[in-house]
Amino acid sequence: MRDTLLNITGLTKAYGSVIANREVSFSVGVGEIHALLGENGAGKSTLVKTIYGLVKPDSGTMDMRGAPFAPTDPAAARKAGVGMVFQHFSLFDALTVAENIVLGMDNPPSPRAIAAEVRRVSDQYGLPLDPDQIVGDLSAGERQRVEIIRCLLQNPKLLIMDEPTSVLTPQEVEILFKTLRKLAAEGTSILYISHKLSEIAALCEAATILRMGQVVATCDPRTTAPREMAELMVGQVLQSPVRAARPEGAMALELTGLSAPASHRFGTALRDIRIAVRAGEVLGIGGVAGNGQDELVAVLSGETMSDNDAVLLDGKPVGRSPVNARRALGLLCAPEERLGHAAAPDMSLTENAAVTAITRKSLTRRGFVDWPQARAFASAVIAQFDVRTPGPQHTAASLSGGNLQKFVIGREIMQAPRVLVVNQPTWGVDAAAAAAIRQALLTLADEGAAVVVISQDLDELMEISDRFCALTEGRLSAPRAARGLTVDQIGMMLGGAHDMEVAHVAE
Amino acid sequence: MIVLEKREAPSRLWAWGSPVMAVLLTMVLGGLLFAALGQNSITVIRTIFLDPLFSEFAWFYRPQILIKGAPLVLIAIGLSFGFRAGVWNIGAEGQYIVGAICGAGVALALYPMDARWLIFPSMVLAGALGGWAWAMIPGLLRVRFGTNEILVSLMLVYVAEQLLAAMALGAMRNPEGMGFPGSRNLSQYPSAANLELISGSGMHWGVVAALITVIFAYVTLSRHVFGFHVRLAGQAPRAAKFAGVNPARMVLICMGLSGALAGAAGLFEVAGPAGQISIDFNVGYGFTAIIVAFLGRLHPIGIMAAGALMALTYIGGGIAQSSLGLPAAAINLLQGMLLFNLLAVDVFTTYRIRMLRKEVS
């Protein structure tokens, strides 16, 4: 039995009437890679924020190597040896790697010393990184390395990683795992937050599973079946998506050498994109976000215009047709950003139903919105897609991520599209809702629609797509049949320009 | 320790309660201001807010509320569309002036023709078109070159004021006016006058137009697709674009609508209460209407109430000036204070105050 590093007993934290953590107890051993598993809203974030000194618990105690540990702010937590890599990076695009690292320090040494230190740590842990590079030019994986090295320079005893792989390619994940294993071997404990079970099984030695703020189980992920862990996490039996064999349908959506400029300064221009999607088919487009996904959706939805002949819907050119003209023809989209793009946060679900459904559901009478009918449509979406809300009069912002996503996707599916394009359909969505959304997309394809799924989640794409292609730096690879693709092959398709070599880990 | 805590949802009570709070707070702070000026605060506040309604001369002042309130409401309704959609027309004062000049120009060109059925409607149309055209300048510049409509529309107010002075002294000067600046008095030209419809009520065509506009705005915002898109554009611009709203067209429509209504308000004023194009024709309705729009929560019915309240401060301020010798700037200060207080009190719509006791660990 190894020594205990961090011991948490009876931790409780409530926000108003919502209890985020109830009597949470678990411990992390020295040099242990410990997984914290749970759906969105299960209380993982609150728990790690408590450890990192961002949240003050209502009751309960923490011990660090036997001594009471109650950090009042992140600086105190860092002093006690806790480092954290957040899911969202806090880096300045315009500064170099070394400058970004210096910014986070209390008594910064000279830039030259830092550069040398960054090189040393990045060599030692196999995290290739040039301290003089501008952060704006780095890939998501490299940005994450900046954050990790920033933590490692403080010699942490406990490193908290919040959903670290959501932005990485498979090869980058492999590099990260090697680093983490090496750190653990040297005695650093790692608290690894994720809901990707395959990763946890590959990396972690112990797992604490949270559901609705409580610890529901502790297990060894190397010996526990992923399905069992998923069901513990969700608290119900999961349905795997099923799909019928489909006959080859007619050509529904074609992109013939589409190019479009970047939507903003740090966006990605689309270059010579060619797609052909048939009715009844699911085309999966993989790739790390920021490689042109937003631009591609905008060009398809009609928010960005392109050459008229570059986008063909049922053989008809629609590249210059406005948004609602495309909807009328049956080309529907569900963008990635739920709040603010797919839905207006402070408007009711009824009003949000009208955002896209006015044309196809004829929700207007001589220019006046037929609100009763819009409400009926919103209620139908809520009922059909099991959106948990007291009613359509509630605002979009009041829904959880998963429920709003079900509403947004459901709103498009219930308009019976010819072609549906969805971007990151299950991003930040709990496992049960994600399964429901995937099933709904498959059912839609079975009914004869063409479905284009853009996602970072490769497991998801492998599960539902018929053909797979990768979007990297605005270019789309040639599609391949999804069945039988190996992780390595996918990685090669995705890899593109990112440094592909698995870095040499110093022994 | 006192902390501000974000509410889960904006408070409905505070959304409508905060204008009332702001008015009360303005009375208190205004009272302090008047005390600092050496006045009896209670008397001044009473003079401004109550005397126009309840003093022995109230029969004279009450109709004034309609006369002063109508242009405020007319302009504020137009502005509220833009403000909801995130289009910031600050130059309604200029559009008001240009509308008055254009409308008066039609009347003066046709003087002394006797055809009210033709002249008065053409004046209204010309006034609205003039305001619309003046507002199109910042609108088109924003859409075409990405300029800031706040700055351009504001600066065009000063251009419009120069234009007004030039008209009053030059092209539109009354040829029978013994060389005094200012145009012919339109209220004495029967074909062009915007007369009281019911004697002693203060009700003129501008008031009718304001009431119709309120109803039109209410129906548009709550029922029409355009009103829905206006609200959507303001709350979530990307969602609006996704819903098929053309952002450039939205800017032009909102600028044009507010400009046309401000121009019409200017025409009703120049043909009625003011009577003539003069150097000091504009009295700041275009700027005060911004306060009215926000005080009324950008809601047509709220704007109507806020317009009446601001009209009250104009009239009461006038009484306080003449009977108590208060400087005119003090009244402007009071009106500005009202907007300032509203913005301050509005914090409570989305935040609540919580007292934190020192936690015992």
**Do A303 and B225 make contact, defined as CB atoms within 8 angstroms?**
no
Calculate the average pLDDT of chain B: 90
Residue B229 has pLDDT above 90, yes or no: yes
**Do B223 and A355 make contact, defined as CB atoms within 8 angstroms?**
no
Q: Closest approach of chain B CAs to the CA of A344, in angstroms?
A: 5
**By 3-state DSSP, what share of chain B in percent is helix, strand and coil, each rounded to 5?**
70, 5, 25
In this structure, the answer to whether residues A433 and A488 fall within a common structural domain is yes
Can you give the length of chain A in residues? 507
In this structure, the answer to whether residues A113 and A198 fall within a common structural domain is yes
Select the residue from A318, A333, A347, A375 to test the B interface by mutation, using most B Cβ atoms within 10 A.
A347
Greater pLDDT, A184 or A230? A184
Range in A74-78, A139-143, B221-225, B307-311 the model is least confident about: A139-143
Residue B342 maps to a domain: no
The model's pLDDT over B145-182, given as tens digits with 9 standing for 90+, comes to 999 999 999 999 999 999 999 999 988 999 888 888 89
Number of domains in chain A: 2
Backbone angles phi, psi at B116, to 5 degrees: -60, -40
A345 part of contact set with chain B, CB < 8 Å? yes
Q: How large a percentage of chain B has pLDDT more than 90?
A: 61
Contacts of B358 in chain A (CB under 8 A): none
Residue A501 has pLDDT above 50, yes or no: no
Q: Closest approach of chain B CAs to the CA of A303, in angstroms?
A: 6
Range in A37-46, A90-99, A452-461, B29-38 the model is least confident about: A37-46
- DSSP E strand boundaries for chain B: 2-6, 351-355
CATH number (domain holding residue A405): 3.40.50.300
Residue A261 maps to a domain: yes
pLDDT in the model for residue A485 = 78
In this structure, the answer to whether residues A296 and A442 fall within a common structural domain is yes
pLDDT in the model for residue B195 = 83
The model's pLDDT over A270-294, given as tens digits with 9 standing for 90+, comes to 989 999 999 999 999 988 777 888 8
Q: Which of A70, A301, A369 sits opposite B242 (nearest CB)?
A: A301
What ipTM describes this predicted complex? Answer: 0.83
**Do B242 and A395 make contact, defined as CB atoms within 8 angstroms?**
no
In this structure, the answer to whether residues A276 and A164 fall within a common structural domain is no
In this structure, the answer to whether residues A116 and A203 fall within a common structural domain is yes
**Beta strands A316-317 and A368-369: pairing type?**
unpaired
Residue A254 parent element (H or E): strand A251-260
Residue B6 maps to a domain: no
**Do A371 and B246 make contact, defined as CB atoms within 8 angstroms?**
no
Range in A160-174, A281-295, B36-50, B284-298 the model is least confident about: A160-174
In this structure, the answer to whether residues A310 and A353 fall within a common structural domain is yes
A371 part of contact set with chain B, CB < 8 Å? yes
Select the residue from B219, B226, B242 to test the A interface by mutation, using most A Cβ atoms within 10 A.
B242
Residue B1 maps to a domain: no
In this structure, the answer to whether residues A324 and A208 fall within a common structural domain is no
pLDDT in the model for residue B150 = 95
In this structure, the answer to whether residues A341 and A389 fall within a common structural domain is yes
What amino acid is encoded at B195 in this protein? L
Tell which of A182, A205, A234 closes a domain.
A234
In this structure, the answer to whether residues A308 and A210 fall within a common structural domain is no
CATH number (domain holding residue B199): 1.10.3470
Backbone angles phi, psi at B354, to 5 degrees: -130, 135
Residue A488 has pLDDT above 80, yes or no: no
In this structure, the answer to whether residues A212 and A142 fall within a common structural domain is yes
In this structure, the answer to whether residues A268 and A157 fall within a common structural domain is no
Number of domains in chain B: 1
**Do B232 and A371 make contact, defined as CB atoms within 8 angstroms?**
no
Residue B84 maps to a domain: yes
Q: Which domain holds residue B62?
A: 38-326
A58 part of contact set with chain B, CB < 8 Å? no
Contacts of A364 in chain B (CB under 8 A): 225
What are the DSSP calls for B48-90, one per residue?
HHTHHHHSTTHHHHHHHHHHHHHHHHHHHHHHHHHHHHT----
Residue A296 maps to a domain: yes
Q: Closest approach of chain A CAs to the CA of B9, in angstroms?
A: 8
Residue B275 maps to a domain: yes
Tell which of A193, A209, A234 closes a domain.
A234
**Beta strands A189-194 and A33-37: pairing type?**
parallel
Give CA–CA dist B296/B303, Å, rounded: 4
Residue B4 maps to a domain: no
**Do B236 and A303 make contact, defined as CB atoms within 8 angstroms?**
no
Collect all residues from B whose CB is shorter than 8 A from any CB in A. 8-10, 223-226, 228, 231-232, 235-236, 238-244, 246, 359, 361
Residue A500 maps to a domain: no
Q: Closest approach of chain B CAs to the CA of A339, in angstroms?
A: 8
Residue B2 maps to a domain: no
What are the DSSP calls for B252-304, one per residue?
HHHHHHHHHHHHHHHHHHHHTTS-S--TT---SHHHHHHHHHHHTTT-HHHHH
Residue B126 parent element (H or E): helix B116-145
A367 part of contact set with chain B, CB < 8 Å? yes
In this structure, the answer to whether residues A9 and A138 fall within a common structural domain is yes
**Do A337 and B223 make contact, defined as CB atoms within 8 angstroms?**
no
Backbone angles phi, psi at A97, to 5 degrees: -60, -50
Q: Which domain holds residue A71?
A: 4-234
